[in-house]
Amino acid sequence: MYGSAVIPYSVSLSKVSNLRELSSRLRYLLVLAFAWLLGGCGQPLPLDKAEYAGEWQSADMYLLIQHDGSVEYQRYDGNSSTSISGGIQKFDGNDFEVGIGFLSSRFEVSEPPHRVGSDWQMVVDGVRLTRVSDVQFY
């Protein structure tokens, strides 16, 4: 009876060892996947879209577009808000997509950046935004 108790214990150690190896492999795969996602964060702004770069605001929307293609977006609607951070994946005319694959959001630009007096403005998703500051090239 004592000998039979040793076998399950050794089998148990073998299972623990296998679980540790599996856990280590999963961590490695997660690190690779995260690195891949960071590497695919976006593309730099094309030269013909350089005017999009800047910090844009309205009363209920904030949009920061960097020259490297990174985007920070916040929209407020009463007591709720929506936030998106990511890279521009592509432009389609004046519109652009931010995110990765099916986790992307399309921003519809009905009026691309243009001067109105001394201000720069554009209309994104039906909201008129004013550029409050430029962003610097890296």
pLDDT in tens, 70-100: 999 999 998 999 999 999 999 999 999 999 8
Q: Report residue 43's pLDDT band, with 50, 70 and 90 as the boundaries.
A: confident
Domain around 18: 1-39
Greatest Cα-to-Cα distance within the chain, rounded to the nearest angstrom: 92
Residues 29 and 87 in one domain: no
Give the residue-averaged pLDDT of 17-44. 57
- 5-19, 72-86, 116-130: which range is least confident on average? 5-19
How many domains, the chain?
A: 2
Strands ordered across the beta sheet of 103-107: 103-107, 95-100, 80-92, 70-77, 61-65, 54-57, 127-133, 119-124, 109-116
- 120 part of a folded domain: yes
Give the residue-averaged pLDDT of 16-22. 64
Model confidence pLDDT, tens digit, residues 53-62: 999 999 999 9
Residues 84 and 128 in one domain: yes
Q: Which residue has the higher pLDDT, 20 or 100?
A: 100
Residues 16 and 66 in one domain: no
Give the residue-averaged pLDDT of 1-12. 53
- Token duo for residue 89: 């994946």
- Among candidate residues 38, 92, 93, the one with its CA nearest the CA of residue 68: 38
Give the model's pLDDT for residue 80: 94
Q: For every residue of 34-50, which 3-state class applies, written as one string?
A: HHHHHHCCCCCCCHHHH
Give the model's pLDDT for residue 101: 78
- 138 part of a folded domain: no
Residues 58 and 32 in one domain: no
- 8 part of a folded domain: yes
